[in-house]
Amino acid sequence: MNANVASTSTNNLHIAAFHTMPTPHAVQAKLPLTEAATRTVENGRDELIRILKGEDKRRFVVVGPCSIHDPIAGMDYARRLKALAAEVSDVLMLVMRVYFEKPRTTVGWKGYINDPHMDDTFRIDEGMVLARQFLLDVNELGLPAGTEALDPISPQYLGDLIAWNAIGARTTESQTHREMSSGLSTPVGFKNATNGEVGVAVNAILSASRPHRFLGISSDGKVSIVHTTGNPYGHLVLRGGDGRPNYDTVSIALAEEGLKKAKLTPNIVVDCSHANSYKKPELQPLVMADVISQIVAGNRSVVGVMIESNIVAGNQSIQADRSKMTYGCSVTDGCVDWETTASMIRDAAQRLRGVLV
Ligand SMILES: O=C[C@H](O)[C@H](O)COP(=O)(O)O
Ligand SMILES: C=C(OP(=O)(O)O)C(=O)O
């Protein structure tokens, strides 16, 4: 690592250091994609695309911790989810939420890549390798992974291991994220804004579907002009906003109308967490049950749901003394516990059997 700042009287006044990162190619060479992981990523993306095209009548569920902070607990969760995925695969496709980058309302821990040791040492170089190892392990189990694409450079390091990307509520309106999405290799779910505005996500889907030219990095770490071809698999994620849910039948009908007006396929994912459950994780089962009722009643636009779930319910603060922390409990948003998650998914599968069209 080096640390030098070429500052002048007008430049880099607030930058203390530049530490060089290993290139994406170097990180990938250290932890290469295996055959089993490649199969999981390719099959996961294909299944998602078939669901988005209406060729596969199942629905997908992006489910897992609000953020990964402990890879041992994360893999414990992944193994449970893999077994559950096999049980419900006739009607539901499960994608594990593997979120490493947290967009904060103000400040706070920004995730496993930014600060993997959770002690403000900010070893992004180590975090990137640890995140890649975790994604490899999840994919080798045969479980596809979904993540939030927040940092526009990270996909060059990790994108080959991701089956589904989200653009978050705080960045759906950002040109940088729309440009990045236009080049991502996966289907991308754009969330409505934190104030509940859905139009920005519809605009994001349109923007990302077109080719763009912008500044980025190549796999050998060179600043480059990136040429993208456009992403045809953008869809809408309703997460509620401004303290109000938006998964009810009227909100979904309005969202469908907005997508159709923009000449987009009305594909909607409902995030059972965030403002849809007033940030009370214990309300997520009610949201999910309501959305499943809409599908059972004939709704075709809801293609998936998202659940924030962990081994243990709720959340906890990060403590310097790790022995005081609860295993398998979120350090960001509160989650439902494993038992609740399994029964939400089993109930949904039970109700969907025989009714999916
Ligand atoms: O899902 C994650 C959080 O809602 C998001 O990162 C914002 O978190 P914060 O409001 O605690 O910063
Ligand atoms: C940050 C998240 O959600 P949102 O962008 O909807 O706030 C998340 O799902 O982790």
pLDDT in tens, 97-131: 999 999 999 999 999 999 999 999 999 999 999 99
Q: Please write the tens of the pLDDT for every residue from 232-241.
A: 999 999 999 9
> pLDDT by residue (tens digit) across 30-41?
999 999 999 999
What's the pLDDT at 3? 63
For 141-167, what is each residue's pLDDT tens digit?
A: 999 999 999 999 999 999 999 999 999
> Taking residues 16-36, what's their average pLDDT?
97
Q: Which amino acid is at 331?
A: V
Whether the per-residue pLDDT at 286 is higher than 70: the answer is yes
Residue closest via CA to ligand 2's atom 2 equals: 168
> What pLDDT is stored for residue 126 in this prediction?
98
Alpha-carbon distance 296 to 135, whole Å? 34
User: Which atom of ligand 2 is the closest one to the Cα of 239?
Assistant: 6
Domains recognised in the chain with CATH numbers: 24-352 (3.20.20.70)
Give the model's pLDDT for residue 357. Answer: 73
Q: What is the DSSP letter of 51?
A: H
C-beta separation of 160 from 58 below 8 A: no
- Which pLDDT does position 113 carry in this prediction? 98
148 lines ligand 1 (CB under 6 A): no
Name the residue with the closest Cα to ligand 2, atom 7. 169
Q: Is the pLDDT of residue 1 over 60?
A: no
The pLDDT value given to residue 6:
82
Tell me the average pLDDT across 58-77: 98
Q: Does 102 sit in the ligand 1 pocket, CB within 6 Å?
A: yes
Q: Which ligand is nearest to the CA of 150?
A: 2
> What local confidence, expressed as pLDDT, does residue 8 receive?
87
Atom 4 in ligand 1: which residue has the minimum CA distance?
333
pTM confidence score: 0.97
- How far is 306 from 270, CA to CA, in rounded Å? 6
Burial of 74 (0-12, 13-18, 19+ CB in 10 A): buried
| Ligand 2 center to 171 CA (angstroms) | 10
Q: Which two tokens stand for residue 225?
A: 């002009």
